[in-house]
Amino acid sequence: MIEKALTSADVEFVTTLHGEEPVSFQVLLQPRGEQADRLLRAIDDVALGELDEAVREGETPEGEEALSVGQRALEVSLAALRASGSEAEGRLIEDHPLDALKSLVEEVGADEVIVLTDPHYVEEFFHRDWASRARHKVGVPVLKLFSHSKA
């Protein structure tokens, strides 16, 4: 589960987690927008000392624009995973990302879930981040990783 396009460092990281064992990825991308809370993102930016980012939170695409950006990010991520030699399929999630994640885990018989996001300190502190909530919902191990750089 991701929220933006994977960087080359992210792809290398997730594709090497299991050594030489063949891995197939099912990527769910929840674009930022209506599901995300601008205030929490701004607080995270301030906590990280990224004051310029906090000011720009109002510029984050929402609605249809977020879906368009999200679709491009998903396509880029799938292409990068495939270029690394991995099998990869994916879909964009508009509503209820954890319900979609649980359904996908059951549908494909996933062994684990990787949640790869930027740090969201406020949500993590209150265990409201995707990984914390997914651990109680999906029935398989959930690995939480932080993106290596901004995409």
Is residue 53 situated within a structural domain? Answer: no
Domain that holds residue 139: 8-47+61-146
Distance CA 50, CA 74 (A): 26
- Per residue in 28-70, pLDDT (tens digit) is 998 765 444 555 555 555 666 665 654 454 455 555 555 578 8
| Tokens standing for residue 104 | 């996908």
Mean pLDDT of 9-30: 92
Is residue 117 situated within a structural domain? Answer: yes
The pTM score is: 0.75
Is residue 88 situated within a structural domain? Answer: yes
Q: Is 138 helix (H, G, I), strand (E, B) or coil?
A: coil
Is residue 56 situated within a structural domain? Answer: no
Is residue 92 situated within a structural domain? Answer: yes
Domain count, the chain: 1
Is 81 exposed, middle or buried (CB count within 10 Å of its CB: 0-12, 13-18, 19+)?
Answer: buried
